[in-house]
Amino acid sequence: MEFRYQCSECGSFYDLDPALTTCPLCSRKQKKDEPLRGVLEVRAEGELPEGEDLVQSLLPVPPEFFPPLPRVKGELWAPGRIREELGLKELYIMNDGCNPTGSFKDRASLLVSAFAKQHGIDTIVLASTGNAGSSMAGIGAAAGQKVVLFLPETAPPAKLIQALQYGATLYKVAGNYDMAYDLSLDYSEREGGMNRNTAWNPMTMEGKKTVSLDIYRQLGGKAPDRVFVPTGDGCILGGVYKGFKDLLHFGLIEKMPRITAVQAEGSNALYRAWKTGSFDFQPSTTVADSISVDIPRNGYTALKYLQDYGGDVVCVSDDQIIEAQAKLSSGAGLFTEPAGAAGWAGLLKCAGEIEENECAVVLATGSGLKDTATALKGVSMPEKTISNIEEIRG
Ligand SMILES: *Cc1c(COP(=O)(O)O)cnc(C)c1O
């Protein structure tokens, strides 16, 4: 197999090179406050080797460079009680809360870590709403790489603490994720290291594609009919499409599933662009911190995929997210963080239009333990304490 970069806008090909981030031609069109121009995708060419691990064969870095950690596979859940309640017999949840650091971001971090190792780069720099940072910190720790993080000061404490536990250098940014994104680019430009910012580093979308390969494998070698994806920057969305596109390219599936991006009402730049055809700027606010972004960095790529393959975008309110989170916990035993539950809220919104036997997969992208303060909004904590059983009866 041969791997090259291809620009998602102009189609130019480039050799894989850690110094290359976005397409040198298209990035000249970059304007302030708009998604990244010239996002590069990895193209796999040649014959799929037989008898080898499917996921590893489709990844552009050989296995010996990966950190000594279990390879992420996610877990496909078949939520029996919820299936019955909704009348959806082939409903699944892809749980990525079980990954080494508890979120979907491990899929990207593993590949970025391996790519850096392959090229002898020992420092990785990034901005994050929280999960990408704590993920890279943990995976960098396993690999023996130095990780420098830029996180908004408002990130849920568990994510900051997790990153510090792993030994990352943490800069708390006096502003939002978008500000952290720019600061981290500035830092890596001056200080060096590999920048792992989402979409900026082509290995992020490429690593995230493994979720589609894992869904394909865990469904016994088929693609689902529909996939629901919580969406902020649109890098997971792009990765989901990329994985199925690879499977199509190598003749393993016949059609692209219908993919639905789910956004929070208060952070729905991709939704607006999907409606109008162009990106505008609006400050975002939502309880689902992991999908709270003003400028969806992978916006152009994500929008193009949605248009090319007939995908769609739905929005859910914060209340619907909080409700969906509690419902998933109590109905399926899966405690996912608010952004993780956004996909679930999207499914609930669309449940009426899904046929009984259609196979639908909802991505649950992070463990609920990462943000308990928001989860508390969906339940009620007992007010008083007790010291004997009589008090319960009385
Ligand atoms: C990052 C993240 C998302 C959204 O991914 P994007 O690539 O930003 O669209 C969703 N859920 C969780 C838990 C995340 O950490």
Measured by CA distance, the residue closest to atom 2 of ligand 1 is 290
Phi, psi of 70 (to 5 degrees): -60, 140
Is 59 part of any domain? no
If you measure from the C-alpha of residue 49 to the centroid of ligand 1, how many angstroms do you get, rounded to a whole number?
32
- Structural domain tally of the chain? 1
**E-assigned strand segments in the chain:** 2-7, 13-15, 40-45, 75-77, 90-95, 123-127, 146-152, 169-173, 194-195, 226-230, 258-264, 312-316, 359-364
Nearest atom in ligand 1 to 302's CA: 9
If you measure from the C-alpha of residue 310 to the centroid of ligand 1, how many angstroms do you get, rounded to a whole number?
21
Q: Is 236 in the pocket of ligand 1 (CB under 6 A)?
A: yes
By percentage, how much of the chain surpasses pLDDT 90? 95
Q: Is 233 in the pocket of ligand 1 (CB under 6 A)?
A: yes
pLDDT tens digits, one per residue of 279-328? 999 999 999 989 999 999 999 999 999 999 999 999 999 999 999 999 99
Compute the mean pLDDT over every residue in the chain, rounded to the nearest whole number: 96
Is 120 part of any domain? no
If you measure from the C-alpha of residue 239 to the centroid of ligand 1, how many angstroms do you get, rounded to a whole number?
11
The pLDDT value recorded for residue 277 is 94
Per-residue pLDDT at 134 exceeds 70:
yes
For the residues 335-346, what does the mean pLDDT come to?
96
Measured by CA distance, the residue closest to atom 7 of ligand 1 is 235
pLDDT tens digits, one per residue of 13-67? 999 999 999 999 999 999 999 999 999 999 999 999 999 999 999 999 999 999 9
- Domain around 370: 75-102+204-378
Q: 374 CB contacts (<8 Å, ≥6 apart)?
A: 156, 287, 288, 289, 322, 337, 338
Is 312 part of any domain? yes
Q: Is 291 in the pocket of ligand 1 (CB under 6 A)?
A: yes
Residue 35, SS3?
coil
Q: Is 230 in the pocket of ligand 1 (CB under 6 A)?
A: yes
pLDDT tens digits, one per residue of 236-281? 999 999 999 999 999 999 999 999 999 999 999 999 999 999 999 9
Phi, psi of 62 (to 5 degrees): -65, 155
Could you please report the per-residue DSSP string of 41-62? EEEEESPPPTTS-HHHHTSSS-
CA distance linking residue 288 with residue 296, whole number of Å: 15
If you measure from the C-alpha of residue 235 to the centroid of ligand 1, how many angstroms do you get, rounded to a whole number?
8
Q: Is 234 in the pocket of ligand 1 (CB under 6 A)?
A: yes
The pLDDT value recorded for residue 393 is 82
Is 18 part of any domain? no
We report the CATH number of the domain holding residue 254 as 3.40.50.1100
Q: Is 365 in the pocket of ligand 1 (CB under 6 A)?
A: yes
Nearest atom in ligand 1 to 293's CA: 8
If you measure from the C-alpha of residue 231 to the centroid of ligand 1, how many angstroms do you get, rounded to a whole number?
6
Among 101, 198, 365, the mutation site with the greatest number of ligand 1 atoms within 8 A of its Cβ is: 365
The pLDDT value recorded for residue 178 is 87
Nearest atom in ligand 1 to 297's CA: 8
Is 55 part of any domain? no
Is 15 part of any domain? no
The pLDDT value recorded for residue 319 is 97
pTM for the model stands at: 0.97
Is 187 part of any domain? no
Is 34 part of any domain? no
Per-residue pLDDT at 394 exceeds 70:
no
By percentage, how much of the chain surpasses pLDDT 70? 100
User: pLDDT tier at 163 (50, 70, 90 boundaries)?
Assistant: very high
pLDDT tens digits, one per residue of 189-207? 999 999 999 999 999 999 9
Nearest atom in ligand 1 to 198's CA: 7
Nearest atom in ligand 1 to 370's CA: 13
